[in-house]
Amino acid sequence: MKLDGKATAAKIKADLTKRVAALKERGVTPGLGTVLVGNDPGSQIYVAGKHRDCAEVGIASIRVDLPASASQADVEAAIDELNASPACTGYIVQLPLPKQLDTMALLERIDPAKDADGLHPVNLGRLVHMVDAPLPCTPHGIVLLLQEYGVPIKGADVVVVGRGITVGRSLGLLLTRRSENATVTLCHTGTHDLAAHVRRADIVVAAAGVPELIKRDMVKPGAAVLDVGVSRVDGKIAGDVALDVAEVAGHLTPNPGGVGPMTRALLLSNVVEAAERGLR
């Protein structure tokens, strides 16, 4: 069965549209800021999509685009401005950043209360402690997509492939909370015999950025497979999951149309929640 991220994201956005209207009635217009540095084609598409989504649900947009040559000080100045701007409820720095920039230092500079990505160390620390915080968007979207389609998470063996900060590491934290209670194995480039790990998984999340890394013969029949891969080959998206995995998987995300739209919907959700939190 298809894990339809586009349809599930549309439901989330319909709910957010109502919540944004309620906020506006109380005199608050939530605003999402984005900081995009450089011309990475994928990043440009994702940022444009985030602003289209904002318009759809009534969130205001603040877009800061800097050249690929931007210095650490240039990006810091953009961050400081968004931290101070009353129009900006939450914002993100689009990743990856050009090589000359210190990503960690920039993420740390974001006001944790405006961290729409849930990637500030304070918010990731709150996730470790399992206290209320904005959750990283892709992992949260993955959990909601599994729940929407009734894929059992409690007690499931989950194999996550890829240890990046936006997906792999934080997904392990989310899925091992008591409310989810999955058993998670985090695989990466140093994993011996990846196929053996994947083969025993009830749920496979492929977030390595390696096209077709997960092959049909690595997947347990009936497993749920989520493809987070966003590599581009000849201008087209190449996922981490081979197409013929559909022949064995019990549930599978399309790509595009699977995890990507969920990531964007949960970003909007973090902005709306930050605005609601400000009224409490």
Ligand X SMILES: Nc1nc2c(c(=O)[nH]1)N[C@@H](CN(C=O)c1ccc(C(=O)N[C@@H](CCC(=O)O)C(=O)O)cc1)CN2
Q: By the criterion CB under 6 A, which residues form the site for ligand X?
A: 45-46, 49, 92-95, 117, 137-138, 166, 230, 237, 255-257, 260-261, 263-264
Between 28 and 95, name the residue whose CB sits nearer to ligand X: 95
* 90 is annotated as contributing to ligand binding: no
* 164 is annotated as contributing to ligand binding: yes
Least distance to ligand X from the beta carbon of 18, Å? 22
Between 28 and 210, name the residue whose CB sits nearer to ligand X: 210
Length of the chain: 280
Closest CA to 29 of 40, 17, 21: 21
Measure the CA–CA gap between 67 and 98, rounded to whole angstroms.
Answer: 10
Residue of 53, 117, 202, 240 marked active site: 117
Least distance to ligand X from the beta carbon of 44, Å? 10
* 167 is annotated as contributing to ligand binding: no
Active site residue 44: no
Residue nearest ligand X, Cβ-based: 260
Residue 275 CB neighbour total at 10 angstroms: 21
Active site residue 117: yes
**Site of tokens 């999340």:** 205
* 163 is annotated as contributing to ligand binding: yes
Closest CA to 131 of 177, 172, 168, 163: 177
Residue of 4, 13, 40, 50 marked active site: 50
Q: DSSP H helical segments within the chain, as ranges?
A: 5-25, 41-57, 72-84, 103-109, 121-129, 137-148, 168-175, 194-199, 259-279
Least distance to ligand X from the beta carbon of 192, Å? 28
Residue of 53, 94, 115, 202 marked active site: 94
Active site residue 215: no
Calculated CA dihedral for residues 58, 52, 263, 25, nearest 10 degrees: 0
Least distance to ligand X from the beta carbon of 140, Å? 10
Contacts of 19 (CB under 8 A, 6+ apart): 272, 276
Active site residues: 50, 94, 117
- The binding site for NADP(+) comprises 162-164, 230
